Chains A and B, each alone.
Chain A
């Protein structure tokens, strides 16, 4: 999924019904003058969309027949993106608006799994619009809301004028606990500078290097078993590549359904390059990304977002990968 100039960026807008997705979409379409966008919507859209090129889709989640239980893709996106790539005029970007209850994983996985889609388009970022007033309840009641936060590169925390300061802090803490990577932007009526949500290239491996997750130091005592949380590990001791690959591939094979997202920068014994990876469930994109910067300490960093992480002995597994 590495970028080339030919790939059209695809921005995915998720968020619960009423959070403000369509408001944001119409802002993008009216403010980016002279740009050609295709917008893929579903029939349960909240209000009218002001664009020449609107494609109606049904969110169809297909299981791939490849023996991988959590490998699902969005069939409608494969069909529509492949079709749009045959257009004579080139699109500047494609925006996919999902329904409120959509799981973003199949959307992201489509860009890993389908070669035609991966060749001609790239997933730019998942932008989740959240309602500051109702998000806490939604996170408790619907696992889709948790997934939308877990997969977000940007969380647009909307309607902040309707909550007080302490209420806002509670919501933000909750978001950070699920997803320490996501950039949280406070807005009313989706008033955000568009360069904060478009052309982010958030799924490229290069971007993994820039991300400094905003970790909370809170303990994990009070969670339900199926809450989405994140765990991170750092090691200054170089890792053994073979041990790591063995542990990590087994982990994804057996726990891939519960592990929503992973990202990491790895320092392997005897390797001069940094190894960078990012993954969605069982699917991974990984590559050496050049030498370690001079004068900077080498260290390995690994982050998991998922359910039941406490039960996976991640700390022990990671410790065992350290070179003796």
Chain B
């Protein structure tokens, strides 16, 4: 990665826009998920499109209204919709229905080692491999987010008042413990090393727990709700949206308590709406409320390059293929950029 000061949003198309393919679909992009070297995108009309190098992407009619959430299970895509359906979609577009909750939305989906999980209302449903009926995990309020740890032995469920942590013991029985913090918790993630649990809240702040001793703390100072956050470079930094800079909290050593985050500034002074780690690098792709997207090295902000110039619509999805050959950007105006990352001659 090198600084490329010749590119500014107001000027010509970036080299990625020139090299890649732009789609102006006019349908809000709600999610994107990497499935091997393909990227699946969910839309606000219930369709899913799969982008693979050298192939065209036809819309797959998955849900009636909105693709609310997406995840993957091996080579399959998982989606939840406002039609109450939890679906599994193969890369060749075959749809199978895992669950149907009628007028109740499927708000969150995830999977681990063949176990398929979704939440609808205040209940988490878990389908173990080869089981027709799901196991139910009930909670005291509507669920804000669900996440497995890397090994799949712990399932975190965020809710009003904190997080319920479900742990599978060696007889495959799930036991719960509570991590409480006042307020409504939305998205939840584990750090890849399994040491931390982080949630975003209804208030403009994040909350984290260090799991070995249950020490917890807030990360605040944001101007907007934090809709997107992710761990970068294994678990070294937590990159976050919700401010006019990409705020990256240090999670190495003893964690972020008493330490300052690194704040990466961008041209245009717009709100950061999406952050996506660049695989295997200490770097992030940052999407802003005006549609522009940058690639930055966290510890070397001067090494920032522009990937996409502005579209006027907030960036709502960024994903990189597993082989790091291609990336995809989607926004709320239905604009998509699908591009190779490296120059052909550098390959």
Contact = CB atoms under 8 A, between A and B. Distances in A.
Given A56-B104, A86-B28, A87-B44, A115 B225 contact: yes
A64 B204 CA distance: 11
Interface in B316-347: 332, 334
Given A62-B184, A66-B203, A80-B105, A53 B65 contact: yes
Interface string B90-133: 00000000000011110100000000000001100000000000
Task: Give the contact-size bracket for chain B.
Answer: 20 to 34
Contacts of A78: 202
A64 B28 CA distance: 29
B43 to A, nearest CB: 7
Interface in A66-121: 66, 73, 75-76, 78-80, 83-84, 86-89, 114-116
Nearest to B26: A88
A88 B104 contact: no
A55 B105 contact: yes
Nearest to B104: A56
Q: Is the interface of A mostly helix, strand, loop or mixed?
A: mixed
A86 B160 CA distance: 23
Given A60-B160, A86-B66, A88-B28, A114 B224 contact: no
B103 A64 contact: no
Given A55-B105, A83-B66, A62 B225 contact: no
B219 interface: no
A114 B66 CA distance: 21
A116 B224 CA distance: 9
A108 B223 CA distance: 22
Question: Chain A interface: which size bin?
Answer: 20 to 34
B301 interface: no
Contacts of B141: 60, 75
Contacts of A64: 183, 202-203
Contacts of B71: none
Interface string B118-156: 000110000000000000000001100000000000000
B290 interface: no
State the majority secondary structure of interface residues on B. loop
A54 B43 contact: no
Contacts of A58: 121-122, 142
Contacts of B203: 64-66
B241 to A, nearest CB: 13
A75 B202 contact: yes
Contacts of B66: 83-84, 86-87
A79 B107 contact: yes
Contacts of A227: none
B65 A87 contact: yes
Interface in A278-296: none
Contacts of B107: 79
Contacts of A56: 102-104
B68 interface: yes
A144 interface: no
A258 interface: no
B224 A115 contact: yes
Q: Which of B82, B141, B203 has the most CB atoms of chain A within a 10 A radius of its CB?
A: B82
A56 B44 CA distance: 19
A83 B122 CA distance: 17
Given A75-B160, A80-B105, A114-B225, 11 more contacts: A58-B142, A64-B202, A65-B203, A75-B184, A79-B107, A83-B68, A86-B332, A87-B66, A88-B28, A88-B44, A88-B334
12 contacts: A58-B142, A62-B184, A65-B203, A75-B141, A75-B160, A79-B142, A80-B105, A86-B66, A86-B68, A87-B45, A88-B43, A114-B225
Interface of B: 26-28, 30, 43-45, 65-66, 68, 82, 102-105, 107, 121-122, 141-142, 160, 182-184, 201-203, 224-225, 332, 334
The 5 closest A-B pairs by CB, nearest first: A65-B183, A88-B45, A56-B103, A88-B27, A86-B44
